[in-house]
Amino acid sequence: MIVESTRLPDLLLLKPNIYDDNRGYFIENYHRKQWVDAGLTVHFVQENHSCSQKGVVRGLHYQLEPHAQSKWVHVLHGAIWDVVVDLRQNMPTFGQWQGFLLDDKNHHQLLIPKGFAHGFIALIANTIVSYKCDNYYSPEAESGIHFQDPTLRIPWENYAIPTIVSEKDSKLPLFNVSLGL
């Protein structure tokens, strides 16, 4: 497994070893010793899967303290453009975002620490995303930022036209309102 830093401190791009042959491929998706050797100490307590049609936007979501979550995100089938926003007000990258293509071909994964909002747009139909969390979901701690926030200027349309957004996500507040700025 290759662990790459990103331009947002503590956000990591993971590239697992892929073994291809005439049968298909094999990935050792999680290997505790490799994670420990790489300095990854996150302990996951919950795993979620979502299935999305092309153009579905999910997010930008995060959990408030003391229920904040680190997430390990990867695509089991299909493709997404995954976006992460730094919400850590003490960091020079506060309010900055970064996007990543995650799909069932490159098998790239994101390890998203606490203090980030996360969302994605499905690039093909029936995209299945898995995300493990290091803290249990807590409805009272649920928060988010509207995916089309004008201050963030995230170019979702460069990847797919946002066609389906849940009612809940469509009502999420803007960045400044969500963070009480």
Does position 179 have pLDDT exceeding 90, yes or no? no
Residues assigned a catalytic role = 61, 131
**Under DSSP, is residue 140 helix (H, G, I), strand (E, B) or coil?**
helix
**Under DSSP, is residue 168 helix (H, G, I), strand (E, B) or coil?**
helix
Mean pLDDT of 33-49: 94
Residue 180 has a pLDDT of 83
Digit-coded pLDDT (tens) for 59-108: 999 999 999 999 999 999 999 999 999 999 999 999 999 999 999 999 99
- State how far the alpha carbon of 55 is from the alpha carbons of 28, 35, 160, in Å: 30, 33, 6
Mean pLDDT of 144-173: 96
Does position 181 have pLDDT exceeding 80, yes or no? no
Q: In what helix (H) or strand (E) does residue 167 lie, and over which residues does it extend?
A: helix 167-170
Residue 21 has a pLDDT of 93
Mean pLDDT of 143-161: 96
Digit-coded pLDDT (tens) for 16-27: 999 999 999 999
At CA 39, angle to CA 134 and CA 121, rounded to 5? 50
Specify the number of domains making up the chain.
Answer: 1
Cα–Cα distance for residue pair 158/104, rounded to 1 Å: 20
Q: Say if CB 54 and CB 139 are below 8 A apart.
A: no
Percent of the chain with pLDDT over 90: 94
**Under DSSP, is residue 178 helix (H, G, I), strand (E, B) or coil?**
helix
Whole domain around residue 48: which residue ranges?
A: 2-178
Mean pLDDT of 137-159: 96
Q: What is the mean pLDDT of the chain?
A: 96
- What CATH number is given to the structural domain containing 113? 2.60.120.10
Mean pLDDT of 103-132: 97
State if pTM tops 0.85. Answer: yes
Does position 142 have pLDDT exceeding 90, yes or no? yes
Query: Which residue did the predictor score with more confidence, 55 or 179?
Result: 55
Residue 178 has a pLDDT of 85
Digit-coded pLDDT (tens) for 125-135: 999 999 999 99
End-to-end CA distance of the chain: 39
